[in-house]
Amino acid sequence: MIQDLWYKNAVIYCLDVETFMDGNGDGVGDFGGLQRRLDYLAGLGVTCLWLTPFHPSPNRDNGYDITDHYGVDPRLGSLGDFVEFTHQAKQRGLRVIIDLVLNHTSDKHPWFQAASKDRNSRFHDFYVWSDKKPKDAHKGMVFPGSQHTTWTYAPGVKRWYFHRFFPFQPELNIAHPAVREELLKVMGYWLQLGVSGFRVDAVPFLVELKGMRNHGIEDPYELLDRMREFLSWRSGDAILLAEANVTMDEVMNFFGKDGDRMQMVFNFSANQSYFLSLVTEDATPLVESLRSAPRLPHLAQWANFLRNHDELDLGRLPAKARKRVFAELGPEPRMQLYERGLRRRLAPMLAGDRRRLDVSFSLMLSLPGTPVLWYGDELGMGEDLSLHERQSVRTPMQWADEPHGGFTRAEEPFRPVVERAPHGYRQVNVEHQRRDPGSLLNWMERMVRMRKECPELGWGAWRLLSVRNKNVLALRYDWKGETLVTLHNLSGKACEVGFSPGGPPARLVHLLSEDHSSPGKTGRHRVTLEGYGYRWYRMEQRLAPPATD
């Protein structure tokens, strides 16, 4: 049992070690460089770092094709460098969670190398095989347009192997008892080295029934129960953060009825609904998403995000709605990916409009749950659409207006830094924004600090407030006798909002300015919100009158 639910009031920052900072001048980011930038991250106010895969890998899928779950890619450093990094992060109050990729390996992994050469190898059953190519081999692709089958022939054993992702990522037979034992060992290893948990990749694929009939598994979610139990015994305060892009009807299967599976799940529904609300200037899609969400057990928590290392997945929006978002945020075919998403950074999607950026980040920081920030978005970094697929949003961090954005001293980085204005490193970098009090970076530092000072947002019970303006989202949070009210105008036009926060009439104290609100005679408040305006109010507590004798 986690006594201190630290993740409830955390601010998580996701980064890729190889694109963050080069410490040894070879053109590739590494743990030495990342360690040098820990003070920047602590100064930003984030409390937990999520590292995308840094293990040995052919790197055909940004490190998600792993050849050794126990190692560190030599380009990025050594295990000693990793341990020193986690130690230094801890000294600054920063927790570290890492990606846990369980559903597949690289085809260069020793397990698959042995399995694909000899049917009698003990590793052969670690993967999913068929003697004949299944009839549905051309269905169920994760990457339509880039992927053409889910089964590939292995001539060494004259069988077909299953791969939910690309052919170089053979699917593990997650039902096999020996595979499960190996995966728990991987978790235990990294917990022993000081991580505070795992972001678990592609969790819905871990609970599919393929290959399970041979091992007597009746409940596919049993693996999640076992992972949580193992985690709790090995490290009482470690967490599991699930990537599970599922419907609200399914999501409790991943949290667990009592919050006893994954402590956190990414809120893909709110993410997709928000972008639809933003382009239509109508909060209704987001309101409906929040309203449809199940009430979570005490131990469970949503993880809210705007962008991440993948495409902006809009696949659960109706086709007409998805087309509308594409038309405004990514109208060119080269901006779109896999028939469902946009391979763009947040700032260029919103045309660099500070008003829309500010209201978006304000909303992410104040939605029910824990915010997750993608590196560089605190600056307004751009993408490079000349790069392959999702690499467009995985460019090196922009530190300064100097060669390669200050990312490396090498003549050429392993991946180019964004140069093109207005989001290139000459215009958008840490050094410039630190000196500008009105910069996005300095604004973000203030907002992150305020988020941490409002535990109601992470811990409290919340409810939607009724407003007539369809472009406004109004929420109330309650925790330990404190009440917080947030308003967000998703339209570019100013509007007056009337609402009742509930309870006895009370003054609302604006936490970000002197623009406080006093109730009318009926207890209702009227607030004028500028276009894309937002308010964070704390309800003023009235002291009880002194007792009389």
DSSP state string for 408-427:
-SSSS-SSPPP-STTSSTTT
> Catalytic one among 18, 30, 65, 243?
243
Residues 428 and 484 in one domain: no
Task: Reduce the DSSP state of residue 208 to 3 states and report it.
Answer: coil
Are the CB atoms for 21 and 318 separated by under 8 Å?
no
81 is annotated as an active-site residue = no
CA angle 525, 526, 532 (to 5 degrees): 120
Please state the φ and ψ torsions of residue 137, each to the nearest 5 degrees.
-65, -20
For residue 182, tell me if it sits in a domain: no
What is the Cα Rg of the chain in Å?
Answer: 24
CA distances from 111 to 116, 204, 206, 218 (A): 9, 23, 18, 26
For residue 214, tell me if it sits in a domain: no
453 is annotated as an active-site residue = no
pTM: 0.97
For tokens 């779950």, the residue is: 69
For residue 63, tell me if it sits in a domain: yes
**DSSP structure string for 127-177:** B-EESS--TTTTS--SSBTTB--SEEEETTTTEEEE-SS-TTSPBB-TTSH
Q: Are strands 239-242 and 129-130 parallel, antiparallel or unpaired?
A: unpaired
Residues 499 and 525 in one domain: yes
pLDDT of residue 209: 67
Task: Reduce the DSSP state of residue 498 to 3 states and report it.
Answer: strand
Per the structure, the complete domain to which residue 502 belongs is given by 460-539
Please state the φ and ψ torsions of residue 270, each to the nearest 5 degrees.
-65, -35
Residues 367 and 412 in one domain: yes
CATH number of domain containing 122: 3.90.400.10
Q: List Cβ<8 Å contacts ≥24 apart for 354-361.
A: 354/440, 355/492, 355/531, 355/532, 356/278, 356/532, 357/440, 358/443, 358/532, 358/534, 359/488, 359/489, 359/490, 359/532, 359/533, 359/534, 360/274, 360/278, 360/306, 361/306, 361/444, 361/447
Residues 447 and 470 in one domain: no
pLDDT of residue 146: 85
pLDDT of residue 113: 98
Residues 270 and 380 in one domain: yes
CA angle 433, 434, 438 (to 5 degrees): 60
CATH number of domain containing 477: 2.60.40.1180
For residue 193, tell me if it sits in a domain: no
Residues 264 and 388 in one domain: yes
Cis peptide before 422 (omega within 30 of 0): yes
Tens place of pLDDT for every residue, the chain, 549 residues?
445 899 999 999 999 999 999 999 999 999 999 999 999 999 999 999 999 999 999 999 999 999 999 999 999 999 999 999 999 999 999 999 999 999 999 999 999 999 999 999 999 999 999 999 999 898 888 888 888 899 999 999 999 999 999 999 999 999 999 999 999 999 999 999 999 999 999 999 999 866 555 567 878 899 999 999 999 999 989 999 999 999 999 999 999 999 999 999 999 999 999 999 999 999 999 999 999 999 999 999 999 999 999 999 999 999 999 999 999 999 999 999 999 999 999 999 999 999 999 999 999 999 999 999 999 999 999 999 999 999 999 999 999 999 999 999 999 999 999 999 999 999 999 999 999 999 999 999 999 999 999 999 999 999 999 999 999 999 999 999 999 999 999 999 999 999 999 999 999 999 999 999 999 999 999 999 999 999 999 999 865 455 554
For residue 25, tell me if it sits in a domain: yes
Residues 430 and 331 in one domain: yes
> Catalytic one among 81, 201, 311, 384?
201
Structural domain count, the chain: 3
pLDDT of residue 208: 85
Residues 93 and 157 in one domain: no
DSSP state of 510: E
pLDDT of residue 549: 46
